[in-house]
Structure 1
Amino acid sequence: MTTKRDDFDPKAYNPIFEWRFLAPKYWGTWLAVILSLPIALLPLKAHQWMALKLANKLAKSKKGPAHRARVNFELCFPELSFEQREQLIHKALYTAAIFILRFSLLSLRSKGWLEQQCEFVNKQNLTKHTNNGENVILLVPHSWAIDVPAIFLASQGLPVSAMAKKQKNPVSDWLMHRQRVQYGGRVYERSGGIKPFIKSVKDGYLGYYLPDQDHGAELSEFVDFFATTKATLPGLSKLAKLSRATIVPLFASIDPETGKYSLEVLPALELQSEDQADARSMNIAIETFVKPKPEQYMWILQLLYTQKDGKNFYNLFKPRYKSDWKVSSNNATNS
């Protein structure tokens, strides 16, 4: 008889259901959840049809997600033509839509289904450390399928410890938390500091570290990121030292043609003691994952918001729609 692991930690973020969640102000959230369940159970062909419609519409927008992706692609891939970058935007939005339409399946289906849906590429790059009892922090870039590895690994007896920001909507916050820890694991609120996270890694949990968030100029190092520079959080060596952990990059993607997930693992990073070098090593890991399949990455985020000179390219590039950024329905393609 095996002893059931106790994942409860009073310092972790443990939201519970509250009766106020049923108030009229949250009925729209519940309606969206209720509708998402039967939609997720539709055949993949139906998801592909809906995703194509959504991508065709969103890719033509001159604001919101499409605009942010347009700015990011302009700065990161200047060697591509405008038309090539527009095709990438459409492909990324199509991939995102496929994932979102199927997102509820992560809770509706079983462990066995999840295992069948996940391909673990270069798994040995992780298991050679976990099998030796080493502490590990996973370096996980913001792909559309970023939540899948945490759920999958926990279902395989490798629970994850992550840090997350509490959402404004308490209903969606509670539901998302339940999904993330459905097979075990811990989530810590960022406002509580990093010490509980470090302790959980020492306790044997896989750390889940997001390397591509923008924390502002004061906390960041400006290092190369594709063809531009990005405000990147340093201190990875210090985090590894404090938690006595190995840093292992991991990237999750979804195949729109099959609906299946791929979890790809790189060899552990060789960290430096210098902040710039550490920050650059994180960005190299992101580039290695993203270059072969850029549509899998969340280019809709304000990845390049913080600039050394204080410029805001997401505002500065808006006039481009009146000059060389000619967005039209002809840019939409069939994925």
Structure 2
Amino acid sequence: MTQQRNDFDELAYSPQFKLNFLAPKYWTTWLGIVAICLMSLLPKCLQSAIAKCLTSIAVKLKSGAAKRARINLSMCFPEKTENERADILYQMYMTAIMFMMNFASLSMRNKHWLERHTEIRGFENIQKVIDSNENVILLVPHTWAIDIPAVLFASRGYPVSAMAKSQKNQLADWLMHRQRVQHGGRVYDRSVGIKPFIKSIRKDNYLGYYLPDEDLGKDHSVFVDFFATQKATISGLGRLSKLSKAKIVPLFAMFNSKTGQFELDIYPALPFPTENEHKDARMMNECIEHYVTQNPEQYMWILRLLKTRPNDEKNPYK
């Protein structure tokens, strides 16, 4: 699986640089990119001091992101006190800001730097599946370090195939895509359907990258338990496993804001498919609950995780 390969696929998403990226409407984005690149060169103690200041501001702002995070935490952890949930929110912002300060290093540094700054626990769970001549679909929840495994594995010769939604800011979208596939791999837009994604796993032996916690609405989901509430959970992972002839291997990506290291926990393959969509969906959510309970600050609580509600309940974010 580590041989040289041609990653070109005419159906894969491939944004290109445009001259209008130099127009005034993108100058703010360019300034932000320069700032993040400079911050990535700062010593960790200085990064931490800046992150603490920014976090103190962020948790006080009445922003949409903070509001969504508070709603998600209150619905998922009603048994926790308001102070306990506030502490999770604070630690999440610290993790997110520290990670963003180091995000540019993925492009500014080489793959050897990434290896030295990543601790991997359980890669043998992927290797075991590969050695048995089976394919792999990685089950990767939305943590702040979600892009790290894809870049690292590709640098080792194990390119990843993923499906993603393009960013509204076309310059940011182009830069993020270049970073994701800098060592190889494929990204497909949802508009092309699931077939190219399956083909890349089944026939081309790419590692599939599956995000289990997206809310794609009622038509593509089943309602199952998620912490103390219910969540519209993507259905069909069992069918995807069968069609791709792949084992489902859970992976939890983290950023340690104290050490500045990326940390990847890889778990043994799950018993997919079960022939029951609700059981499959609940198994995915149980994985997320297990990881997040141990490291709640790593999770993207700012997402619209619970916007689709059962029994026509109101969208909690409106």
TM-score (norm 2): 0.96
Question: Which residue number in structure 1 is paired with residue 289 of structure 2?
Answer: 287
Question: Which residue number in structure 1 is paired with residue 309 of structure 2?
Answer: 307
Question: Which residue number in structure 2 is paired with residue 151 of structure 1?
Answer: 151
CA distance in 2, matches of 1:101, 1:95: 10
CA 3–211 in structure 1, closer or farther in 2 if over 3 Å, else same = closer
Percent identity, please.
54
1:273-318 deviation line (CA, Å, top 9, x unaligned): 1111011011011111111110000011111111013312223xxx
1:208-267 deviation line (CA, Å, top 9, x unaligned): 010000011222111000111100011111001111111111010011100101111111
1:183-224 deviation line (CA, Å, top 9, x unaligned): 110111111111100000011000001000001122211100
Which amino acid in 1 is paired with 2:317? Answer: Y
Which amino acid in 2 is paired with 1:167? Answer: Q
SS in 2 for 1:224: strand
Q: How many angstroms does 1:170 deviate by?
A: 1.4
**Which 5+ residue runs of structure 2 have no aligned equivalent?**
none
Question: Which residue number in structure 1 is paired with residue 239 of structure 2?
Answer: 238
In the TM superposition, 1:163-202 aligns within 5 A as: 163-202=163-202
1:110-140 deviation line (CA, Å, top 9, x unaligned): 1111001111111111111123331111010
Structure 2 residue 214 is matched with structure 1 residue 213: yes
Question: Which residue number in structure 1 is paired with residue 90 of structure 2?
Answer: 90
CA distance in 2, matches of 1:25, 1:291: 41
Alpha carbons 2:201, 2:244 under 8 Å: kept: yes
CA distance in 1, matches of 2:111, 2:63: 39
SS in 2 for 1:6: coil
Q: How many angstroms does 1:61 deviate by?
A: 2.6
CA distance in 1, matches of 2:20, 2:138: 36
In the TM superposition, 1:11-160 aligns within 5 A as: 11-160=11-160
Which amino acid in 2 is paired with 1:222? Answer: F
CA distance in 1, matches of 2:190, 2:113: 32
Query: Structure 1 residues 146-155 or 54-63, which shifts more?
Result: 54-63
Runs of 4+ in 1 over 4 A off after TM superposition: none
Which amino acid in 1 is paired with 2:85? Answer: R
1:25-69 deviation line (CA, Å, top 9, x unaligned): 222212211222111111111111111111111112333221111
Alpha carbons 1:61, 1:67 under 8 Å: kept: no
1:142-171 deviation line (CA, Å, top 9, x unaligned): 000000000011011111001111112211
SS in 2 for 1:313: coil
Which amino acid in 2 is paired with 1:241? Answer: K
Alpha carbons 2:3, 2:157 under 8 Å: kept: no
Alpha carbons 1:73, 1:85 under 8 Å: kept: yes
CA 311–189 in structure 1, closer or farther in 2 if over 3 Å, else same = same
Query: Structure 1 residues 229-238 or 304-313, which shifts more?
Result: 304-313
CA distance in 1, matches of 2:3, 2:125: 28
Aligned length: 314
CA distance in 2, matches of 1:98, 1:3: 35
TM-score (norm 1): 0.91
Question: Which residue number in structure 1 is paired with residue 4 of structure 2?
Answer: 4
CA distance in 2, matches of 1:197, 1:211: 15
Query: Structure 1 residues 141-150 or 270-279, which shifts more?
Result: 270-279
CA distance in 1, matches of 2:220, 2:9: 28
Question: Which residue number in structure 2 is paired with residue 323 of structure 1?
Answer: none
SS in 1 for 2:158: coil
Which amino acid in 2 is paired with 1:90? Answer: Y
Which amino acid in 2 is paired with 1:262? Answer: E
Q: How many angstroms does 1:3 deviate by?
A: 6.3
